[in-house]
């Protein structure tokens, strides 16, 4: 089943739980009532026929509104209205809905509940959601997992999806998770299985996707080598923080959407209190008698789909009568601490606990349709929020994804704080069986532009101070997660409180000895993934690069105390690299946990040359030391220092295939990559270029970028690195055409000079060259005619605008060309957009360059970090089998051709794509099985990729739980002294 068809199915199947507006305008219910009214007309008389025509018209109008709504809300192209109508009748049959509503009404009357029939629709919709749950889920070895078979015998358990292959179910679950929050289905299935609350133990945001054969392979040991820490928590944590009572009563926003979230937060609180109580009366009756009419008004608005009309101050006072304000101040998750506190040892979120009890209540008391209607609206509001923070697949590309990524980070960190967020991450990863190593990527908590006024040495020391504070908070959360695994949540909280009270009297690594002794046997059995930290530099654009107030000639002036100009950032990133490496050497054992550096974010915002000083300086003999010395117990000790690993996000979201390939080559060559270094994503290496040409046709790109793409190709030909199907003369002509647009004149320019300048962009010596160039300019007499190049005068503001901003005719040098990359005038010229045609006769050239790079990567032993779900969304692939991983490392690799590349499988951003590393392996596994590959071949290949991950990790070795506690405690003690 292709992804477009799955989108159509999910668009129809899930729509009753996705839109809060449906509480007022329930198109399915209105169609059902119109149909019921139509068939209720009896007889054939003239008066009856007129009534029948009127009712028939009403029914057709209701059906039309329903189909129009579905067409407007569907994410993919709709084949026809008839297709929508058939899907709607398949999943929401009129007769089934009518029967369900009537049966529920009769049951309510028996229980003395004569409430509105419209409430009954909520029960019918939840029954459909239950059908989805039993179609997709099962338990495997005590873990909630994907159901790999269809049940066609039991009508009540019949599979709602018309598919016979497990890969389709995995695809459906994967895509369903971008429509709605899937925890509802997990809770529904637990209740369907008549399980008690113990089933919630360590339940996280994911289900297990591997079958038993794959599980056996993965439990040999997996490494997660590409995990962005700020998007690694469970998605439910974001929602819990949105519902945080501390933020409920901020000044009322103009956006009514925030009021809807407040309604949801209050339903969440009140339903939890109700469900943990006696439940002696229906929910809505209980609300009426609970703390007066304020809550009744708000829940009533939720019930009807309106915005509540209650004085916020009065409402806030009512809430603080119910809620312990002190607990709210101390924790972002009030329900877990105060209402569900007896469940804290289950190590799951309050949202899972709430959903479980809500679903159980609706099953046991299906006659309380008022509760079902309120709960349904709560789920809709929650899914409204999900759509805000999870990406759809309508717009591919990294920049589109980043809007969701950044929103996810904001929503989580805003309410929870960094410590809670970090703990969420470690807990979310804790149930992945076989996870031995986990590398997390974090950005240094340093705003480089604010350190511009510090001298280099002082800037490095300031950076180290800030890094220490950031690392301490991170290790604190990691250590808490380990202690919880050893002692449980409650005892860990007590122990850490005791430790904090005596922090001036004890060292953590000494205090931990008692725990190691008391829990020795359990510690030996525990498998805790070893933490590795990768600091990533952020690729970002800045308007300072085009501002006339930021010229390379006065970049060292005192006035530039705060600047994001690339000249400043490039130098500061190099100092940051030095600070990271020095810290790794100075703090014992830290080099085994801070293991790598990366550059991430928008590939088009900053090219690799900006980061070359930072990367190369970290491994140079000026910074790196093989042995560190430190004092311990009054004596000097020595230990070897593990080399820092290099990885780099590259070739993922490029404009032109040449740009993607060039960037990959630049990182490998200019950063002096060694065997074992890694490339993040690198989709350009395995992209189907024939398809890319067919679908692209032309690329809009800056003329500077296009010129450098051509210069890169020119260099490969001239240096004889690869034979390419291109005429050198035509290539040179294109290069010079670009150069003329940037530099105004070709006088004194040659392709060789331009190529030399392109190469020198990666040099560390820019500051030195520009200082020398400035000195030469100051010593050179000024031109008599300052308007000598008036016709070439730039159309941008520059405070130093004169002939020397245009170039000296016939006097171009490499250094002067380098200076133009820091000049706002030439920056504007280089950013001119060209529409570059992509022709079929260029296919051979691009494929030759791609193959050349594939061989280079394979020969050098460089790993490619793939992230299937992320790549599928960002890389705009039609289906998973189009993923480059299958071309880079085919099932039956042709070793003689030298093309088999070391690849790893990772998750990238679990919170955004609702995945983890185990699920990513399973996704690929089922795709290969669906393609008809032999199971033995698939398992052998998966095992190879799994081992690649373990071998390619920058974490050198797996460590026991006791060792981790001792080492992390010691590192924290050292960090405190450095802070």
Is the pLDDT at 861 greater than 90? The verdict is yes
Rg (CA), the chain: 31
CA 123 to chain CA centroid, Å, is 34
For 779-802, write each residue's pLDDT tens digit. Answer: 765 555 545 444 444 443 344 545
- pLDDT score of 332 more than 80: no
Contact between 495 and 487 (Cβ < 8 Å): yes
- Give how far the C-alpha of residue 168 lies from the chain's centroid of Cα atoms, to the nearest Å: 23
Whole-number Å distance between alpha carbons of 646 and 649: 11
Q: How far is CA 497 from the centre of its chain?
A: 33
Residues 307-328 have a mean pLDDT of 82
- pLDDT band at residue 701, thresholds of 50, 70 and 90? very high
- Split at pLDDT 50, 70, 90, the class of 557 is very low
62 burial type by CB count under 10 A (0-12 exposed, 13-18 middle, 19+ buried) = buried
Mean pLDDT (the chain) is 88
Query: Rounded to the nearest 5 degrees, what angle is found at the Cα of 772, between the Cα atoms of 769 and 774?
Result: 110
Q: Given this model, what pLDDT does residue 127 score?
A: 96
pLDDT digits (tens, 9 = 90+) for 615-634: 999 999 889 889 988 777 77
pLDDT surpassing 60 at residue 253: no
Question: What average pLDDT score do residues 598-610 get?
Answer: 94
Q: What is the dihedral of CA 776, 778, 784, 785, to 10 degrees?
A: 90
Q: Residue 402: pLDDT band by 50, 70, 90 thresholds?
A: low
Question: So what's the pLDDT on residue 418?
Answer: 64
Q: CB–CB of 866/903 below 8 Å?
A: yes
- 528 closest CA partner among 482, 471, 488: 482
Q: Are strands 833-837 and 698-702 parallel, antiparallel or unpaired?
A: antiparallel
Q: How many residues does the chain have?
A: 979
pLDDT tens-digit map of 210-232: 999 999 999 999 999 999 998 88
In 3-state terms, what secondary structure has residue 397?
Answer: coil
What are the beta bridge partners of residue 594? 533
Positive or negative, the CA dihedral 298, 300, 301, 302 is: positive
Whether the pLDDT of residue 207 is over 90: the answer is: yes
Most confident of 507-521, 536-550, 604-618, 890-904: 604-618
Region of 305 (left: φ > 0; alpha: ψ -120 to 50; beta: rest) is: left
Annotate 528-555 with b (16+ C-beta within 10 A) or e (fewer): bbbbbbbbbbbbeebebbbbbebbbbeb
Q: Using CA atoms, how far apart are residues 463 and 355, in angstroms rounded to an integer? A: 45
How does 726-759 read in b/e, with b if 16+ C-beta sit within 10 Å? beeeebbebbbebbebbbbeeeebebebbbbbbb
The predicted model gives 751-761 an average pLDDT of: 98
Distance CA 427, CA 424 (A): 5
Q: Which of 507-516, 524-533, 540-549, 742-751 has the lowest mean pLDDT?
A: 540-549
For the cut 90, the answer to whether the pLDDT of residue 877 exceeds it is no
Residues paired with 864 in a beta bridge: 679, 903
**pLDDT at site 549:** 65
Gap between the Cα atoms of 690 and 706, Å rounded: 20
Helix (H, G, I), strand (E, B) or coil at 356: helix
- In three-state secondary structure terms, 837 is strand
> Each residue of 49-107: pLDDT tens digit?
888 899 999 999 999 999 999 999 887 778 888 999 999 999 999 999 999 999 999 99
The secondary structure of the chain in percent helix, strand, coil, rounded to multiples of 5, reads 60, 10, 30
- Determine the 3-state secondary structure of 531 from DSSP: strand
Question: In the beta sheet, which residues pair with residue 143?
Answer: 140
Question: Are the beta carbons of 389 and 177 closer than 8 angstroms?
Answer: no
According to DSSP, the β-strands at 137-140 and 143-146 are antiparallel
pLDDT score, position 233: 77
pLDDT at 559 over 50: no
> Residue 978: what pLDDT?
79
Mean pLDDT of 903-926: 92
| Alpha-carbon torsion angle 44, 48, 50, 52, nearest 10 | -80
d(CA 687, CA 894): 18
Average pLDDT of 866-876? 85
User: Is the pLDDT score of 581 beyond 80?
Assistant: yes
> Cα–chain-centroid distance for residue 174?
14
Cα gap 90→12, rounded to integer Å? 10
Residues 263-272 have a mean pLDDT of 94
The bridge status of strand 863-866 relative to strand 902-905 is parallel
pLDDT at 587 > cutoff 80: yes
Q: How far is CA 600 from the centre of its chain?
A: 12
What element of type H or E holds 863?
Answer: strand 863-866
| Sheet containing 594-601: order of strands | 222-228, 435-442, 530-539, 594-601, 645-646
pLDDT digits (tens, 9 = 90+) for 799-814: 454 545 554 555 789 9
Q: What is Dmax (Cα atoms) for the chain?
A: 108
Candidates 151, 124, 127; CA nearest to 138 is 151
Amino acid 173: pLDDT = 93
Closest CA to 591 of 533, 678, 537: 533
Distances (CA, A) of 273 to 527, 664, 888: 37, 56, 55
**623 phi and psi angles, rounded to 5 deg:** -120, -45
Contacts (Cβ under 8 Å, ≥6 apart) of 730: none
Pairing mode, if any, of strands 435-442 and 530-539? Answer: parallel
3-state secondary structure at position 530: strand
Contact yes or no for 59/35 (Cβ under 8 A) = yes
Burial of 175 (0-12, 13-18, 19+ CB in 10 A): middle
Q: Report whether pLDDT(846) > 70.
A: yes
- Burial of 816 from C-beta contacts in 10 A (0-12 / 13-18 / 19+): buried
Residue 572 CA, distance from chain mean position: 27
Q: At what angle do helices 917-930 and 935-952 cross, to 10 degrees?
A: 150
The rounded distance, in Å, linking the Cα atoms of 667 and 606 is 13
The pLDDT value given to residue 415: 41
pLDDT at 412: 47
pLDDT recorded at residue 789: 43
Q: Burial level of 237, CB count in 10 A (0-12/13-18/19+)?
A: buried
Q: What percent of the chain has pLDDT over 90?
A: 62
Alpha helices in 761-862 (DSSP H): 766-779, 814-819, 824-830, 843-860
Q: How many CB atoms lie within 10 A of CB 401?
A: 20
Residues 6+ positions from 616 with CB-CB distance below 8 Å: 670, 671, 672, 764
DSSP SS3 for 638: strand
pTM (global) more than 0.95: no
For range 467-475, the mean pLDDT:
95
Q: Which pLDDT belongs to residue 391? A: 59
- Give the number of other Cβ atoms within 10 Å of residue 609's Cβ: 21
Confidence of residue 565 (pLDDT cuts 50, 70, 90): confident
Residue 393 to residues 139, 175, 913, Cα–Cα distance (Å): 30, 9, 11
H-run or E-run covering 694: helix 689-696
Over residues 498-524, mean pLDDT: 86
Interacting residues of 25 by C-beta distance below 8 A, sequence separation 6+: none
- The percentage of residues in the chain with a pLDDT greater than 70, rounded to a whole number, is 90
């Amino acid at each position: 089943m292709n992804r477009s068809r799955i989108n159509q199915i999910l668009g129809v199947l899930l729509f009753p739980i996705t839109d809060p507006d449906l509480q007022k305008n329930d198109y399915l219910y209105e169609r059902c009532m119109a149909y019921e009214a139509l068939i209720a007309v009896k007889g054939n008389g003239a008066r009856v026929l007129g009534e029948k025509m009127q009712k028939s018209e009403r029914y057709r109008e209701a059906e039309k509104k329903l189909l129009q709504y579905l067409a407007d809300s569907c994410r993919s192209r709709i084949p026809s209205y008839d297709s929508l109508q058939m899907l709607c009748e398949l999943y929401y049959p009129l007769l089934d809905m009518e029967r369900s509503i009537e049966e529920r009404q009769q049951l309510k009357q028996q229980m003395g509940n004569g409430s509105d029939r419209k409430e009954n629709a909520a029960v019918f919709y939840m029954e459909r959601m239950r059908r989805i749950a039993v179609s997709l889920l099962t338990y495997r070895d005590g873990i909630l997992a994907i159901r790999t078979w269809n049940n066609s015998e039991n009508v009540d358990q019949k599979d709602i999806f018309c598919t016979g292959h497990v890969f389709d179910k995995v695809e459906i679950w994967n895509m369903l998770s971008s429509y709605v929050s899937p925890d509802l289905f997990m809770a529904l299935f637990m209740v369907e299985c008549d399980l008690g609350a113990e089933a919630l133990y360590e339940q996280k945001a994911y289900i297990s996707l591997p079958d038993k054969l794959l599980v056996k392979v993965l439990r040999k040991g997996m490494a997660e080598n590409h995990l962005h820490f700020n998007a690694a928590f469970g998605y439910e944590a974001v929602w819990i923080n949105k519902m945080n009572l501390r933020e409920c009563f901020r000044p009322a926003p103009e956006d009514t959407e925030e009021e809807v979230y407040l309604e949801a937060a209050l339903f969440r609180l009140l339903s939890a209190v109700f469900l943990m109580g006696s439940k002696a009366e229906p929910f809505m009756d209980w609300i009426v008698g609970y703390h007066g009419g304020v809550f009744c008004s708000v829940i009533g608005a939720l019930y009807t789909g309106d915005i509540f009309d209650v004085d916020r101050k009065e409402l806030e006072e009512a809430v603080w009568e119910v809620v312990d304000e002190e607990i709210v101040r101390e924790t972002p998750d009030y329900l877990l601490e105060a209402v569900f506190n007896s469940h804290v040892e289950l190590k799951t979120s309050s949202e899972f606990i709430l959903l479980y009890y809500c679903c159980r209540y609706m099953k046991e008391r299906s006659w309380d349709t008022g509760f079902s209607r309120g709960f349904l609206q709560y789920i809709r509001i929650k899914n409204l929020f999900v759509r805000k923070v999870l990406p759809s697949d309508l717009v591919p590309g990294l920049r589109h994804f980043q809007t969701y990524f950044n929103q996810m980070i904001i929503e989580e960190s805003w309410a929870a704080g960094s410590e809670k967020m970090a703990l969420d991450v470690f807990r979310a990863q804790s149930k992945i069986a076989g996870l031995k190593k986990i590398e997390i990527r974090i950005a240094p908590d340093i705003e480089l532009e604010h350190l511009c006024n510090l001298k280099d040495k002082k800037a490095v020391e300031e950076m180290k101070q800030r890094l220490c504070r950031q690392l301490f908070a991170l290790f604190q959360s990691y250590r808490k997660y380990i202690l919880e695994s050893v002692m449980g949540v409650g005892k860990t909280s007590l122990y850490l409180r005791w430790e904090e009270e005596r922090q001036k009297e004890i060292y953590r690594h000494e205090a931990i000895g008692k725990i190691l002794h008391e829990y020795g046997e359990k510690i030996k059995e525990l498998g805790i993934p070893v933490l590795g930290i990768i600091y990533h530099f952020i690729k970002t654009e800045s308007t300072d690069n085009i501002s006339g107030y930021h010229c390379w000639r006065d970049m060292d002036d005192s006035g530039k105390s705060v600047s994001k100009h690339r000249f400043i950032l490039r130098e500061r990133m190099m100092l940051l690299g030095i600070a990271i490496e020095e810290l790794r050497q100075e703090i014992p054992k830290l080099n085994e946990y801070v293991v790598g550096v990366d550059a991430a974010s928008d590939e088009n915002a900053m090219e690799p040359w900006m980061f070359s000083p930072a990367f190369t300086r970290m491994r140079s003999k000026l910074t790196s030391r093989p042995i560190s010395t430190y004092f311990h117990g009054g004596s000097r000790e020595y230990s070897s220092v593990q080399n820092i690993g290099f990885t780099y996000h590259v070739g993922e979201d490029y404009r032109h295939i040449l740009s993607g390939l060039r960037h990959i080559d630049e990182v490998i060559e200019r950063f002096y990559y060694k065997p074992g270094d890694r490339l993040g994503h690198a989709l350009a290496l395995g992209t189907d270029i024939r398809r890319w040409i067919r679908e692209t046709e032309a690329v809009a790109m800056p003329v500077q970028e296009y010129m450098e793409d051509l210069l890169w190709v020119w260099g490969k030909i001239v240096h004889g690195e690869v034979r390419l199907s291109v005429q050198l003369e035509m290539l040179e002509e294109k290069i010079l055409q670009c150069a003329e647009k940037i530099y105004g004149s070709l006088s004194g320019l040659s392709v060789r000079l331009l190529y030399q300048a392109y190469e020198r962009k990666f040099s560390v010596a820019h500051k030195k060259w520009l200082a020398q160039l400035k000195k030469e300019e100051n010593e050179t007499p000024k031109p008599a005619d300052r308007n000598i190049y008036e016709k070439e005068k730039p159309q941008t503001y520059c405070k130093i605008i004169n002939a020397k901003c245009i170039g000296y005719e016939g006097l171009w040098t490499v250094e002067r060309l380098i200076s133009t990359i820091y000049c706002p005038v030439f920056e504007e010229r280089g950013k001119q957009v060209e529409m570059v045609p992509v022709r079929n006769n260029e296919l051979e050239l691009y494929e030759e360059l791609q193959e050349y790079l594939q061989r280079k990567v394979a020969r050098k032993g460089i790993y490619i970090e793939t992230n299937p779900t992320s790549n599928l969304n960002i890389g705009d692939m039609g289906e998973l089998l189009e993923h480059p991983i299958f071309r880079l490392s085919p099932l039956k690799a042709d070793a003689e051709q030298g093309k088999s590349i070391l690849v790893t499988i990772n998750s990238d951003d679990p919170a955004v794509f609702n995945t983890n590393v185990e699920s990513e392996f399973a996704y690929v596994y089922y795709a290969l099985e669906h393609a008809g590959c032999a199971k033995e071949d698939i398992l052998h290949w998966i095992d190879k990729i799994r081992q690649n991950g373990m071998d390619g990790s920058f974490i050198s070795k797996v460590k026991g739980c006791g060792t981790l506690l001792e080492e992390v405690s010691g590192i924290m003690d050292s960090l405190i002294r450095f802070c």
